[in-house]
Structure 1
Amino acid sequence: MADYLFILNPNSGTSLGRNIDAVAHAIDAEASKNKHSAHILFTEARGHATELVQENLQSGNWKAVVAVGGDGTVNEIARPLVNQPTPIGILPLGSGNGLGRHLGLPLTLESSLKRLFAGSVSTIDSGLLNDIPFFCTAGMGFDAYVGHLFSQQTSRGLATYVNVSFKAYWDYQPQSFRVNGLETNAFSLTFANAGQFGNNAWVAPHANLQDGVLDVCTIKPFPKWFGTSLAYQLFTKQLKQSEYIAYQSVTEVLVETDKAPMIHYDGEPLQLETNVIKVKINPQSLNVII
C-alpha cells in the first residue's frame, strides 16, 4: 500500500478552515477507495508546512507529499522537494490557486482528489529570488504592495483581493528599478514561471513551466484610464507586448533598487533587507502530479 503525506493549511482559501474535518474525512475515504493510505498533518503557522515536510520526508516511502491549500502552502511544501525524487501533489483549495490553475487541476476537493490518485508525474521548473524559491510568480512593485495589504485582511478570496487592489491602485506610485543595469521606471515587475498570479489573472499568458526560462513582465507607468483595460486583459488572458507592457525571457536577471523593496513570492509578501535582487530559473527541479 502506497502512502501519501497530506499537509493541510486550515487558513487557506475562504472556507477550508471551517470544513477541515470534512476535508480530512474525504481524503481518507478517497485514498482508501484507491487502495492507498493517507497520513494527514495540519499547519499551525506560516512556515510550518516546510518544517513538517523536512521532519517527515525520510520517515516514509511517500508516493507524494500533497499540499492542501493555496499557492503559499504549495510554496512551503515544495521547497524541501526541489531536486528531490518525491513529487508534490496539489489539492488547490486556496484563494488564488495560480499554480494549480496553470496546471489545469480541478478546483474542487472531490475532483482534485480523483485527479491526484489518477495523475502522472511531470517535472517543472522553479525560480529563485535571491535564496527564496518560487514556483508560480514573484515580483515587486504594485503586485507586492497589494500582496502585503491582502495579507492583512481578515477575509480571503477574489472579492477581497479585487477590493484591496482597487483601493491601492489610486494611491500607488510607480517605482524606479535598475534591471541588468538599465534604469527602469515601472508600475510592477513580475518574474513568471507559471503564467498567472491566481484567480485567472494571467500576467504572462505564454509562460511555460518546462521551458527553462522565466518570463519577465514589466508594466510601465500608464495613465489612470488604462487601468480598466489592463484588468480586462489580465483576466481574459490577453495581456501582450504593447506601449505599456514589455516581456523578456531570461534565465537570470539582476534588479537593483534605491532602497530594500517589498517583494512577493507566490503571493506571499516579504520586506527584503537588501536592495540587490538576483532572480534565476532552476530548470526541471520539481516533480508534480498532474
Structure 2
Amino acid sequence: MEQPYLFILNPHSGTFLGRNSRLIEKAVHEMAQTYNSRATVLFTQERAHATTLVSEHMHREPWKAIVAVGGDGTINEIAQPLVGQAIPLGILPLGSGNGLARHLGIPLKLNAALKRLFTGQVTTIDTALINHIPFFCTAGMGFDAYVGYRFSKQPARGLSTYMKVSFESYWSYRPQSYRLNGVEINAFSLSFANAGQFGNNAWVAPQADLQDGELDICRIKPFPKWYGTSLAYQLFTRQMRTSRYIDYEKATHAVVETTQPPLIHYDGEPLQLSTSRIEVSIKPKSLRVII
C-alpha cells in the first residue's frame, strides 16, 4: 500500500463544503482506495485550527502529503507548518476564490482535483512573509484589504457576494498614503504578489512567477471613478500591466510605513495590524506542492 494522505477539511470554506463535507470525505476515501492508499480526514472547528492540526499530526505517520480542502485561507493555515519541510502540500480547491490553485493549474472540480492529487508531481514554490505572517498567494493593503474585511463579515460566501461587496466598497473607499521603501506614495491598493491572482481569476500580477525568488509589487494609483470599469476588465482578462495608473516592480524585500496601523490581508484573510511598519519578504523554494 502507498503512503497515507492526511486531509484537513474546512467545512466553513466557500459555498460547497459546508453542505457536502461528508460526501467529500466519502469521495476522498474511495479515491484513496482506487490508488491503493488510505486517507485520514480531519475537520477544522475554528480559525487557525488547521495549523494546530497539522502541527499535531505531521509527524505521526509518513504522510505522502497533507492536503488542504478549502480555499486560500485554509491553504494558508495548513501550509504554514509545512514551509521548509519535506512533506508536500496537496490542494483540493473547494473555497471561494482558490487563487493559488488556479495559478498552479489544479482542477477545481472535486474528482478531477483528487485524481491530480494522487497522480501529480511535486514541485517547490516560493513563499512569503508580511510582518512574519506567512502568505502563499497575495498580500496587501488598501482597497483589497478593505473588501476582504467587509467580505469576511458577510453571512454568505462565494463570488456573487464578493462582487457585491466590492461594488459597494468602490464608491466609498478613498486612496491611502504610504511610504514604500522610503518613498512617499498614494495608492488605491498596494499588493504583494507571490502568485498572480487574488482568486476567481482576478489577475493582479499576471507576470508573477511562484519560482523566481521575487515578489511582484503592484501599486494601483488613485484614478478617476470612470477608470474602474477598465481596471476591472483588465483584472479579469489577465491584462493588468504598467500604465498611467498601475506600477509594477520586483523585490525580495520591501518596507511600508503608514501614519497609523493599517488593515491588511494575507491570502484574502483580513487583519488589523497594531504597528505602522510593515515588512514583506520572499522565501525562495520553501514549500513543496503537488500539482
| TM-score normalised by structure 2 residue count | 0.99
Secondary structure at the aligned position of 1:263 is classed as strand
Gaps of 5+ in 1: none
- Residues 208-287 of structure 1: pairs in structure 2 closer than 5 A: 208-287=209-288
1:50 — aligned with what? Answer: 51
Structure 1 residue 15, shift from structure 2 partner: 1.6
User: What's the C-alpha RMSD, in Å, of the aligned pairs?
Assistant: 0.4
2:100 — aligned with what? Answer: 99
- Residues 163-174 of structure 1: pairs in structure 2 closer than 5 A: 163-174=164-175
**Residue 33 (structure 2) pairs with residue 32 (structure 1):** yes
**Residue 87 (structure 2) pairs with residue 86 (structure 1):** yes
Distance in structure 2 (CA, Å) of the matches to 1:131 and 1:191: 14
Q: Deviations over 1:206-252 (max 9, x none)?
A: 00000000000000000000000000000000000000000000000
In structure 2, what residue type is equivalent to 1:275? Answer: S
1:289 — aligned with what? Answer: 290
Secondary structure at the aligned position of 2:4 is classed as strand
1:187 — aligned with what? Answer: 188
Structure 1 residue 146, shift from structure 2 partner: 0.2
Distance in structure 2 (CA, Å) of the matches to 1:273 and 1:58: 34
Distance in structure 2 (CA, Å) of the matches to 1:71 and 1:97: 6
1:76 — aligned with what? Answer: 77
| TM-score normalised by structure 1 residue count | 1.00
Secondary structure at the aligned position of 2:38 is classed as strand
Structure 1 residue 22, shift from structure 2 partner: 0.3
Gaps of 5+ in 2: none
Distance in structure 1 (CA, Å) of the matches to 2:199 and 2:224: 25
Tell me the matched-pair count: 290
Identity value in percent: 66
Q: Deviations over 1:142-173 (max 9, x none)?
A: 00000000000011111100000000000000
Q: Deviations over 1:115-159 (max 9, x none)?
A: 000001000000100110000000000000000000000111111
Q: List structure 1 runs of 4+ shifted beyond 3 angstroms.
A: none
Structure 1 residue 90, shift from structure 2 partner: 0.2
In structure 1, what residue type is equivalent to 2:185? Answer: T
2:110 — aligned with what? Answer: 109
In structure 1, what residue type is equivalent to 2:173? Answer: Y
Q: Deviations over 1:61-100 (max 9, x none)?
A: 0000000000000000000000000000000000000000
1:153 — aligned with what? Answer: 154
Q: Deviations over 1:48-71 (max 9, x none)?
A: 000000000111100000000000
Distance in structure 2 (CA, Å) of the matches to 1:92 and 1:15: 11
